[in-house]
Structure 1
Amino acid sequence: MSTMNISLPEQMKTWVETRAEQGPFANSSDYIRELIRRDQARQQAITTLQTALDEGLNSGPAEVFDPEAFLRARRG
């Protein structure tokens, strides 16, 4: 595992240490790793959503949706 040193203002350092002590974390590094994992998951979710939006926008003009016809077709 690589090491990275970061500089934090005292207030942030205290926050990290407190969260690490109060949460299910062994130490401050565990807490920071969890924050990074959450940020990565959030970014992936945003990318997935943006891709779906782009596909929808590029799929052509909208068509009128008839829920009754949909249900009839679904029933067979």
Structure 2
Amino acid sequence: MTTMNISLPETLKTFVETKVQNGEYSTNSEYVKELIRKDLEREKLKKLLFSGAQSKVMPDSIDKQYFNNLRNKIDARKMS
């Protein structure tokens, strides 16, 4: 694993340290890594949403079963 040094204003440094002290994260690095992971997930979701918005879906194919299938796909992705 490589190292990256970052500079933070005192208020942000204190915020991160408080998260660690409260036991929400084991280290400052774990907190920053979690933020980066969440940002990567947001980017992936954004791409999926744009891709979906550009795709052509037949209006008559959107029904209760369609949304149930989407929920199942989302649940399956959360498990992996």
TM-score by length of 2: 0.66
Do structure 1's residue 13 and structure 2's residue 13 form an aligned pair? yes
- Using CA pairs below 8 Å that are at least 6 residues apart, which structure has the higher relative contact order? 1
Deviation, structure 1 residue 52: 0.7
Equivalences, count: 61
Cα displacement (A) at 1:23:
3.7
Q: For residue 77 of structure 2, what is the aligned residue in structure 1? A: none
Unpaired stretches in structure 1, ≥5 consecutive residues: 71-76
Alignment of 1:1-76 (within 5 A): 1-56=1-56, 65=60
Displacement of 1:14 in angstroms is 0.4
Q: How far apart, in 1, do the equivalents of 2:50 and 2:35 lie?
A: 22
Distance 2:18 2:26 in 1: 12
What TM-score, normalized to structure 1? 0.69
Taking the aligned partners of 1:17 and 1:32, their CA distance within structure 2 comes to 11
Q: Which has the higher helix share?
A: 2
Please state how far the C-alpha of 1:19 moved relative to its aligned partner: 1.1
Runs of 4+ in structure 1 deviating by more than 3 angstroms, as ranges, are none
Distance 2:28 2:2 in 1: 15
In the TM superposition, residue 26 of structure 1 has moved relative to its aligned partner by 1.2
Unaligned regions of 5+ residues in structure 2, if any? 64-80
SS of structure 1 residue aligned to 2:55: helix
The residue identity in structure 1 corresponding to 2:49 is: L
